[in-house]
Structure 1
Amino acid sequence: MNKSIVIGSTLAVLGLGGLAVGAYQVQTFDREPEPVYADILSVNAATRTVEAPREVCENVVVSQRAPTRDPHRIVGTAAGAIVGGLLGNQIGGGSGKKIATVAGAVGGGFAGREVQERIEAGQTTTTTQRQCHTVVDTQQQHLGYDVEYRYEGQVYSVRLDEAPQGSQVLMHEGEPQWHAGQAQAVASQG
Structure 2
Amino acid sequence: MNKSMLIGIAIGGASALSLGAVASYQAFKGPEYAEVLHVAAVHEKVKTPEEVCKQVQVSHKAPVKDENRIAGTVIGGVLGGVLGHQVGGGTGKKVATVAGAAGGAYAGNQIQKGMQDRDTTTTSEERCKTVTKVHDEVVGYDVRYRLDGKEDTVRMAQPPADNRIPVEHGKLVLNDSPAPAKQP
Partner of 1:67: 63
Partner of 2:6: none
Q: 1:39 aligns with which of 33, 36, 41?
A: 36
Preserved CA contact (<8 Å) 2:39 2:159:
no
Provide the C-alpha distance between the structure 2 equivalents of 1:65 and 1:144, rounded to a whole number of angstroms.
Answer: 55
Partner of 2:105: 109
Q: Where in structure 2 are there 5+ consecutive unaligned residues?
A: 2-8, 176-184
Q: 2:161 aligns with which of 150, 154, 165?
A: 165
Provide the C-alpha distance between the structure 2 equivalents of 1:98 and 1:73, rounded to a whole number of angstroms.
Answer: 26
Provide the C-alpha distance between the structure 2 equivalents of 1:159 and 1:136, rounded to a whole number of angstroms.
Answer: 33
Q: Deviations over 1:131-166 (max 9, x none)?
A: 463656869797763232234434222232x32122
Give the aligned length. 158
Q: Deviations over 1:53-98 (max 9, x none)?
A: 569697x876533322210101101110111111111111233323
The residue type paired with residue 39 of structure 1 is V
Aligned-pair CA distance for 1:114: 1.9
TM-score where L is the length of structure 2: 0.61
Preserved CA contact (<8 Å) 1:81 1:104:
yes
Aligned-pair CA distance for 1:118: 2.9
Change (3 A) 1:158 1:127: closer
Preserved CA contact (<8 Å) 1:82 1:108:
yes
Provide the C-alpha distance between the structure 2 equivalents of 1:75 and 1:144, rounded to a whole number of angstroms.
Answer: 74
Provide the C-alpha distance between the structure 2 equivalents of 1:132 and 1:126, rounded to a whole number of angstroms.
Answer: 15
The DSSP-based 3-state class of the residue aligned with 1:115 is: helix
Q: What's the RMSD between the two structures over aligned residues?
A: 4.0
Aligned sequence identity (%): 27
Provide the C-alpha distance between the structure 1 equivalents of 2:127 and 2:96, rounded to a whole number of angstroms.
Answer: 59
- Structure with the bigger percentage of helix: 1
Q: Which moved more, 1:140-149 or 1:111-120?
A: 140-149
Provide the C-alpha distance between the structure 1 equivalents of 2:172 and 2:95, rounded to a whole number of angstroms.
Answer: 110
Q: Where in structure 1 are there 5+ consecutive unaligned residues?
A: 1-7, 9-15, 180-190
Partner of 2:173: 177
Partner of 1:149: 144
Provide the C-alpha distance between the structure 2 equivalents of 1:142 and 1:128, rounded to a whole number of angstroms.
Answer: 38
Over alpha carbons, which structure has the higher Rg? Answer: 1
Partner of 1:30: 22
Aligned-pair CA distance for 1:109: 1.0
Change (3 A) 1:94 1:153: farther
Partner of 2:180: none
The residue type paired with residue 140 of structure 2 is Y
Partner of 2:91: 95
Aligned-pair CA distance for 1:46: 5.5
